[in-house]
Chain A
Amino acid sequence: MPEAALLEVEALDAHYGDFQALFGVSLSVGAGQVAAVIGANGAGKSTLLNSISGLIRSKANAIRFRGEPIGTLSAFRVLARGIAMVPEGRRLFPSLTVEENLIIGGQFKRPGPWTLKRVYEVFPILEERRHQASTSLSGGQQQMVAIGRALMSNPALLLCDEISLGLAPIVVRDIYAHLRGIVAGGTAAVIVEQDIGQALAIANTVTCMQEGRVALQGRAGEVTRADIQAAYFGV
């Protein structure tokens, strides 16, 4: 595990009403590090990200960011601390233009390198389409808006939920190339993915989840594909 963890998740449980979705999940992410969380559908990956982002409340100490408990904070307060999320399915605001979607991501104006200008430098196509309705863009371009929108808050930690979902392989490669650049700039990330190859190529650590529990955890270079397959499929 990395030293001086930026994010520490410890014995996290999560519930949807009477249904328990997470059972004692623990995870640690260091500054500038990338943690990949993989697993089959229903394994609890998105629930984990929703808990970290504040969409699902948990016990205060179950999630700590920069050493401070954030488990009971609302999503907008979690964002203010420096954790931004790229939600599954992009979830852009359809009544907002591309530029408005980006601007609204920068509500808190945390200090940092990410500005509208910087986002347009990284994703030039978005500047060309800035006045278009966000829903008129292709899937890959919409994903760029979703990533740019999250970056506009200058997060220290980026949560990416299935960013390859529904995109053509060539677009996925392009999106991940951008993500590598973003991480190289010092932003840490937790990446939830079903595309194991892409996730492992960028990650420092990997956590494989199964039925709400951590089935496997280790450094990306030390965990073998056979270990992952065994944990992924529960064999």
Chain B
Amino acid sequence: MNWVNTILQGVLVGGLYAMFAAGLSLIFGVMKLVNIAHGDLIVLAAYVALIVTDGLGLNPIASLLVVVPVMAVIGYCLQRGLLNRTMGDDILPPLLVTFGLSVILQNGLLELFSADSRRLQAGALETASLQLADGLSLGVLPLIQFGLAVAIIAGLHWMFYHTALGRSFRAVSDDPRVAQLMGLNNRHVFALAMALSLAIVAVAGVFLAVRTNFDPATGPARLIFGFEAVIIGGLSSLWGTLLGGILLGVVQAAGAELDPGWQVLAGHVAFLAVLAFRPQGLLSRASR
């Protein structure tokens, strides 16, 4: 029963990792941009949620109504004002700029909020759980988190294959030059993708901040978890991203069960194993 519990908890944490990864996967899929600042943007969302919950007295879950649109606007402006200027055939300039953005975000947050750890309080929801069997219970908050992760991935998948926006994303991803000839403003489409990515980041940031302490230096580790989930699942495969997040969560939970010190290491080993034996990831784009 202990191992069943371990695996289930890992699956639920994997939902959060999938949320970290979904935005990364979306951005890479649409514009081949590896956003090094992704983890710091998750932390930025957590701080925005902190301001909203403190300022408006909202529950962290309710704060999503404000944090999600705020982050989406930040994403649109970030892409239109900065990242679009670096986009081109060479992937290095956007990589370097997002690395610089990561450093600026960390230092900016440090300046504004200090290095103190913060956490969002969700009240009774934090400790609420469902008893499935003796010694086996699932937290309501992780369940909501996992359900949202599945809903986000399913929503993204539906949007990609059943809406005009998704069609634009795929066209720009396939051939940005010809997409312009068909009337698509690539800069606007890229900015919409970044807005959507940061809307997902906002959800991930809020759940991160409820689940654990955060500080301005928390971002890079979230980036690594998100990156690992994307690679394990398969680049540009949304369902693969969910699978990657879940596998990462389960492997980390299993590692921690064997020895608490192995939790993060076990995830890294799984990531390396996938890179070595199936570098295209478990679900490639073709098998969507």
- Of the candidates A55, A94, A107, A108, the one whose C-beta lies within 8 Å of that of B174 is A94
Q: A106 to B155: give the CA distance in the assembly, Å.
A: 25
* Among listed B77-85, B139-147, B178-186, interface-contacting one: B178-186
* Among listed A62-70, A74-82, A120-128, A174-182, interface-contacting one: A74-82
Q: A91 to B182: give the CA distance in the assembly, Å.
A: 11
CB contacts (< 8 Å) of A95 on chain B: these are: 170-171, 173-174
Q: Please provide the chain A residues from 4 to 19 with a CB less than 8 Å away from any CB of chain B in the complex.
A: none
Q: Please provide the chain B residues from 147 to 177 with a CB less than 8 Å away from any CB of chain A in the complex.
A: 167-168, 170-171, 173-175, 177
**CB nearest neighbor in A for B180:** A75
With contacts A55-B177, A95-B173 taken as known, whether A100 is within 8 angstroms of B184 at the C-beta atoms is no
With contacts A91-B175, A93-B175 taken as known, whether A55 is within 8 angstroms of B170 at the C-beta atoms is no
CB contacts (< 8 Å) of B180 on chain A: these are: 54-55, 74-76
CB contacts (< 8 Å) of B179 on chain A: these are: 93, 104
CB contacts (< 8 Å) of A74 on chain B: these are: 180, 185
Best-buried of B171, B178, B183, B184 by chain A (most CB within 10 Å): B183
- Of the candidates A80, A91, A100, the one whose C-beta lies within 8 Å of that of B178 is A91
* A80 with B183: CB separation less than 8 A: yes
- Of the candidates A79, A87, A91, A93, the one whose C-beta lies within 8 Å of that of B183 is A79
**Is there a chain B Cβ closer than 8 Å to A212's Cβ?**
no
**Is there a chain B Cβ closer than 8 Å to A149's Cβ?**
yes
Best-buried of B174, B177, B179, B182 by chain A (most CB within 10 Å): B182
**Is there a chain B Cβ closer than 8 Å to A105's Cβ?**
yes
CB contacts (< 8 Å) of B182 on chain A: these are: 76, 79, 104-105, 107, 149, 153
* B167 with A104: CB separation less than 8 A: yes
* B185 with A93: CB separation less than 8 A: no
Smallest CB separation, A146 vs chain B (Å): 9
CB contacts (< 8 Å) of A87 on chain B: these are: 178, 181
* B181 with A75: CB separation less than 8 A: yes
CB contacts (< 8 Å) of A217 on chain B: these are: none
CB contacts (< 8 Å) of A47 on chain B: these are: none
**CB nearest neighbor in A for B186:** A76
**Is there a chain B Cβ closer than 8 Å to A31's Cβ?**
no
Q: A104 to B189: give the CA distance in the assembly, Å.
A: 13
Q: Please provide the chain A residues from 83 to 109 with a CB less than 8 Å away from any CB of chain B in the complex.
A: 84-85, 87, 91, 93-96, 100, 103-105, 107-108
**CB nearest neighbor in A for B187:** A74
**Is there a chain B Cβ closer than 8 Å to A53's Cβ?**
yes
- Of the candidates A75, A79, A104, A153, the one whose C-beta lies within 8 Å of that of B171 is A104
CB contacts (< 8 Å) of A79 on chain B: these are: 181-183
With contacts A93-B175, A104-B171 taken as known, whether A85 is within 8 angstroms of B181 at the C-beta atoms is yes
CB contacts (< 8 Å) of A105 on chain B: these are: 182-183
Q: A94 to B180: give the CA distance in the assembly, Å.
A: 16
Q: A100 to B165: give the CA distance in the assembly, Å.
A: 12
Smallest CB separation, A91 vs chain B (Å): 5
**CB nearest neighbor in A for B185:** A76
Residues of A within 8 A of B (CB): 53-55, 74-76, 79-80, 84-85, 87, 91, 93-96, 100, 103-105, 107-108, 149, 153
A-B contact pairs, 6 of them (CB 8 A): A74-B180, A76-B183, A76-B185, A79-B181, A80-B183, A95-B170
Residues of B within 8 A of A (CB): 167-168, 170-171, 173-175, 177-185
